[in-house]
Chain A
Amino acid sequence: MSAAIETLGVHVASSVRTDAPPAIVLDKVNKWFGALHVLRDVDLQVALGERVVVCGPSGSGKSTMIRCINRLETHQEGRILVDGIELTDDVRALDAIRRDVGMVFQSFNLFPHLTILENCTLAPIWVRKMPKKHAEELAMEYLTRVRIPEQAKKYPGQLSGGQQQRVAIARALCMKPKIMLFDEPTSALDPEMIKEVLDTMVMLAAEGMTMICVTHEMGFARQVADRVVFMDRGEIVESGTPDQVFNDPKTERLKLFLSQILRGH
């Protein structure tokens, strides 16, 4: 089975910091959408510098879980701590958390009425109160790192999907977050464009960014992840290193999922 999931390249060295407190703690988190129990007793700890890939069938609650981390969804039971700060209804704590947690969405969510440069400088100027020139230099630096500096004056509608997603990554990075959340970043892209986005994410991982990534790209998981977490029907079923999860699945559900993924390859 291991041969069927190819890696994108050399496995990125681990940058887990065991000396620092965990970046994210989910402690017995439960969430309901009305009567539907979408997250059941989710326990997860992510260390600083760790890279976690979350996979699972659709409807398993993976997106809901990471959206709870920056409170785009609210959990009903349990505790979530980000960088030591607990997520509650306190607005100021929430703003502090959101400043340090960057998110990349499946549908990019760039602001269509602003240029690429303005998209990237918006948050630094208005949230971090950076002067405009400084913010623009920062934005150009990150746009260069994601390899699209020449598009800075264009509008999102003029870019391809892969380019837009890279801009979204640059936009999130401009806030210099401690943690990056990726919610199926390549699921809305054409196959030719998936590679350019994954390359950007690998580069990010190599720099030691704490990442939680919900994705179906198993090759990426193999190359980058310190830990793979498999979720099904709202609970974490198995978790372990990519080797353990892909080569040695212990539960029937994971075996079924892997066989379905492989059939698709």
Chain B
Amino acid sequence: MSDITANTPIHGSSAPRDAPMATTGLIAWLRANLFSGWLSTAVTLLLGYLIVRAVIGIVDWAFINAIWSVPLSPTGVAQTQVCRDLQGAGACWAVVTEKHRFMLFGTYPYEQHWRPAIVCLLFIGLYIVSAMRRFWNWTLIPIWAVTLTAIGILMWGGVLGLPYVPQERWGGLPITLILATFGLAFAFPLSIVVALGRRSNLPAIKVLCVVYVELIRGVPLISLLFMASVMFPLFLPEGMNIDKLLRAQIAIILFAGAYLAEVVRGGLQALPKGQYEAADAMGLSYWQKTGLIILPQALRLVIPPLVNTFIGFFKDTSLVLIIGIFDLLTAGKTAIVEPAWQGFGVEVYVFVGLIYLCFCFAMSKYSQGLEAELNRHRRR
């Protein structure tokens, strides 16, 4: 505890002192938040006990009692009796060890797994580069074009000596990333256009945008995927065929576009009218005003709900199981269909869940950083 300074002026104003220990630091925080009264102390102790028990239980299950691999019989069938004997006391991570390549890459040919692996890394690289603000100019377009072409070449093959792999055999993480990336990359500009259109003074455009948003929001994504898969071919001329993945992709783009449009519209509405007026008074055209003044501010305002929707749609890609496309989650489910591995769903879902968590948490963290950086002008 520091001493009160001795040179206190005589005429009354005192020099600042250090705060007494009991009101700052860890002890003070504990006293104020956890042990501030009898009830608070009791709740803290109870919850503390429950938390410690839960953590011990999880560590026991996930690490201490877990089995990490099982032997294979001479015919290659996994001998999972060891796991079953545990009867839930420990995790059977062997299912992940054995099946992770199927869960990650689906029915892609086993020897060619390096291709979807590189594709996943390319996607991650693309996200990282797109996230960095210093690439936010026209150079992003060739970067995306080249990366997506490389991804296409790697997945399909047929050129450069790579064996051709038909789309029906694609599965797992690459499918999730393809659907999510293309989906959101196209849905976001679409949503901006629709949001602006909804606020337009031209009645035809406004009605079109309203109808689009209300129709799409009125149906579940599953039914839209189903309709896309079954009904699209009926409307197309004879012989013309859009492949299944593309149909699912279009459905996801339309669906995400409608939801994102409403988020963007919220931002447009939140902007003070004076900003629109000042831009008008300077003689800026509609697109100059929208691109330079309105959208930069409106989009900054709605980063939280935008990222929220992005994260939601990243996970909604798993609904394509309804039309028979093997995304990451479906591949995980299918991995435990084999009789030897039936019943180990928990371990599989934890593994798949962790992968989703990595991507979604990264998005979340990134958005926080982006918000802080873009709103620097608001800090004094």
- At the interface, yes or no: B236 with Cβ under 8 Å from chain A? no
Q: Identify the closest chain A residue to B275 (Cβ).
A: A109
CB-based contact A109/B274 at 8 Å: yes
Binds A, one of B119-127, B226-234, B281-289, B336-344: B281-289
- At the interface, yes or no: A11 with Cβ under 8 Å from chain B? no
Chain B hits for A70, CB < 8 A: 280-281
Chain A hits for B284, CB < 8 A: 122-123, 126-127
Cα A99 to Cα B293 in complex, Å, equals 17
Interface residues on A, range: 20 to 34
- At the interface, yes or no: A257 with Cβ under 8 Å from chain B? no
B260-276 interface bits toward A, Cβ cutoff 8 Å, 1 = contact, 0 = none: 00000000000010110
Binds B, one of A18-26, A100-108, A211-219: A100-108
Which chain A residues in 79-110 approach chain B with CB under 8 Å?
95, 98-99, 101-103, 105, 107, 109-110
How many residues from B make CB contacts under 8 Å with A?
Answer: 22
CB-based contact A157/B297 at 8 Å: no
Chain A hits for B274, CB < 8 A: 105, 107, 109
- At the interface, yes or no: B193 with Cβ under 8 Å from chain A? no
Q: A166 to chain B: closest CB distance in Å?
A: 15
B369-380 interface bits toward A, Cβ cutoff 8 Å, 1 = contact, 0 = none: 000001001111
Checking A98, A102, A112, A157 against B280 with a beta-carbon cut-off of 8 angstroms, the contacting residue is: A98
Cα A109 to Cα B297 in complex, Å, equals 13
Checking B272, B282, B292, B380 against A158 with a beta-carbon cut-off of 8 angstroms, the contacting residue is: B380
Chain A hits for B300, CB < 8 A: 113
CB-based contact B277/A111 at 8 Å: no
Q: A167 to chain B: closest CB distance in Å?
A: 12
- At the interface, yes or no: B278 with Cβ under 8 Å from chain A? yes
Chain B hits for A113, CB < 8 A: 296-297, 300, 374, 377
- At the interface, yes or no: A72 with Cβ under 8 Å from chain B? yes
- Known A-B contacts A107-B274, A157-B380; the reply to A95 vs B285 at CB < 8 A is yes
CB-based contact A126/B288 at 8 Å: yes
Interface of B is mostly: helix
Cα A172 to Cα B277 in complex, Å, equals 13
Q: A93 to chain B: closest CB distance in Å?
A: 12
- Known A-B contacts A122-B292, A126-B292; the reply to A112 vs B297 at CB < 8 A is yes
Checking B278, B285, B379 against A109 with a beta-carbon cut-off of 8 angstroms, the contacting residue is: B278
CB-based contact B377/A157 at 8 Å: yes
Interface centre among B280, B300, B374, B377 (most CB of A within 10 A): B377
CB-based contact B283/A95 at 8 Å: yes
Interface centre among A98, A102, A112, A158 (most CB of B within 10 A): A112
- At the interface, yes or no: A46 with Cβ under 8 Å from chain B? no
- Known A-B contacts A109-B275, A111-B275, A126-B288; the reply to A72 vs B296 at CB < 8 A is no
Cα A95 to Cα B300 in complex, Å, equals 28
Q: Identify the closest chain A residue to B379 (Cβ).
A: A157
Cα A122 to Cα B283 in complex, Å, equals 11
Chain A hits for B293, CB < 8 A: 111
Q: Identify the closest chain B residue to A110 (Cβ).
A: B278
Chain B hits for A171, CB < 8 A: 282
Checking A98, A110, A155 against B281 with a beta-carbon cut-off of 8 angstroms, the contacting residue is: A98
CB-based contact B281/A103 at 8 Å: yes
Chain A hits for B378, CB < 8 A: 112, 155, 157
Chain B hits for A72, CB < 8 A: 277, 280-281
B33-69 interface bits toward A, Cβ cutoff 8 Å, 1 = contact, 0 = none: 0000000000000000000000000000000000000
Which chain A residues in 27-86 approach chain B with CB under 8 Å?
70, 72
Chain A hits for B297, CB < 8 A: 111-113
Pull 12 A–B residue pairs with CB atoms less than 8 Å apart, ordered by A: A70-B280, A72-B277, A102-B281, A105-B274, A112-B377, A113-B377, A122-B282, A122-B292, A127-B282, A156-B377, A157-B379, A157-B380
Chain B residues packing against A (C-beta within 8 Å)? 272, 274-275, 277-278, 280-285, 288, 292-293, 296-297, 300, 374, 377-380
In order of increasing CB-CB distance, the 7 nearest A-B pairs are: A109-B278, A98-B283, A109-B274, A155-B377, A123-B282, A103-B281, A99-B283
Other contacts beyond A111-B297, A157-B378: 5, CB < 8 A: A105-B281, A112-B377, A123-B283, A126-B288, A155-B377
